[in-house]
């Protein structure tokens, strides 16, 4: 298992591998060719960023039975798009727009694509995955319900927290996901309960859209969700990955 970190130090952005309370800087890009160096940086001295800067961000709706409510079981993965500009990193602030009141958290496993592919068979999907990370598919329910498209309900700035690490070498098909809202557990379920597996999702998307290194796929949220308020803290924790923590504030 390797935990990759994308971080900023003294105005410079780099990649490294997390080793306890230090990060070992790497030369190159985790989306391409890279090698480890002998340079170790204290974790306390850097700012962790979102693990990648994606060109495309896909997301799956209604992918846990516990989230369906009275809605029908989907027959195929129901895909929507989030804007790449919505992605923020750990400890960055989720900003609640002034003109909507019902903005919810959605804790999710997020897949990071590692190589280009189209028409990917399910049995080959794992070959296209670089790793996984924690995500929060922040959702403005009022806009989601009333708008024709979800570009602002799901893709407004700061509506896509990801991090803290990009982890490879884990069994992403069976990880425990937990979301805490102001310290209280609100969502808790294993990724083995996904209706459509990661392989299902990758294969389905790639039938019509070419997947490229750095693309993100939010895989769906379990259970029920509740609104966020100014001053809240929301944490998404996935075992073997870490804790994605973000504060919340109302837009000025």
What pLDDT, in 10s, does the model give residues 201-242?
999 999 999 999 999 999 999 999 999 999 999 999 999 999
pTM: 0.98
Please give the Cα distance from 235 to 66 (Å, whole number).
Answer: 20
For 166-200, letters b (16+ CB in 10 Å) and e give bbbebebeebebbbbbeeeebbebbbeebbbbbbb
Do the beta carbons of residue 125 and residue 198 sit within 8 Å? yes
C-alpha distances in angstroms, 69 versus 62, 63, 177, 195, 222? 9, 12, 19, 14, 11
Nearest C-alpha neighbor of 191 from the set 76, 107, 104:
107
Q: Which residues are 3's β-sheet partners?
A: 167
Please report which residue ranges of 2-98 form alpha helices under DSSP H: 65-68
* Spatial distance between the Cα atoms of 162 and 89, rounded to a whole number of angstroms: 5
Tell me how long the chain is.
252
Residue 204 is predicted with a pLDDT of: 98
In angstroms, the CA 140 to CA 124 distance is 35
Q: Is residue 140 within 8 Å of residue 153, measured between CB atoms?
A: yes
**Structure tokens given for 115:** 């190589």
- Please give the chain's pLDDT, 252 residues, in tens: 999 999 999 999 999 999 999 999 999 999 999 999 999 999 999 999 999 999 999 999 999 999 999 999 999 999 999 999 999 999 999 999 999 999 999 999 999 999 999 999 999 999 999 999 999 999 999 999 999 999 999 999 999 999 999 999 999 999 999 999 999 999 999 999 999 999 999 999 999 999 999 999 999 999 999 999 999 999 999 999 999 999 999 999
Cβ contact 52:166 at 8 Å: yes
The β-bridge partners of 105 are: none
**Residue 143 is inside which H or E element, if any?**
helix 141-146
Domains and CATH numbers, the chain: 2-48 (2.30.30), 57-250 (3.90.850.10)
């Amino acid at each position: 298992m390797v935990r990759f970190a994308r971080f900023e130090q003294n105005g410079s952005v780099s990649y490294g591998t997390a080793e306890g309370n230090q990060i070992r800087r790497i030369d190159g890009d985790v989306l391409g060719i890279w090698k480890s160096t002998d340079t170790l940086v204290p974790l306390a001295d850097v700012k962790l960023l979102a693990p990648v800067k994606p060109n495309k961000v896909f997301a799956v709706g209604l992918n846990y039975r516990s989230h369906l409510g009275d809605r029908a079981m989907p027959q195929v993965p129901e895909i929507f798009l989030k804007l790449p500009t919505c992605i923020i990193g750990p400890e960055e602030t989720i900003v609640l727009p002034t003109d909507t009141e019902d903005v919810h958290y959605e804790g999710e496993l997020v897949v990071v694509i590692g190589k280009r592919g189209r028409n990917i068979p399910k049995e080959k999907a794992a070959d296209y995955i670089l790793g996984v990370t924690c995500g929060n598919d922040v959702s403005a329910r009022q806009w989601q319900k009333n708008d024709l498209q979800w570009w602002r309900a799901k893709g407004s700035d700061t509506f896509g927290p990801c991090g803290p690490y990009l982890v490879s070498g884990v069994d992403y098909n069976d990880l425990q996901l937990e979301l805490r809202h102001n310290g209280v557990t609100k969502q808790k379920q294993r990724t083995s309960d996904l209706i459509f597996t990661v392989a299902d999702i990758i294969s389905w998307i790639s039938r019509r859209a070419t997947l490229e290194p750095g693309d993100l796929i939010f895989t769906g949220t379990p259970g029920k969700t509740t609104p966020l308020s100014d001053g809240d803290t929301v944490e998404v924790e996935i075992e073997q990955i870490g804790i994605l923590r973000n504060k919340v504030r109302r837009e000025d």
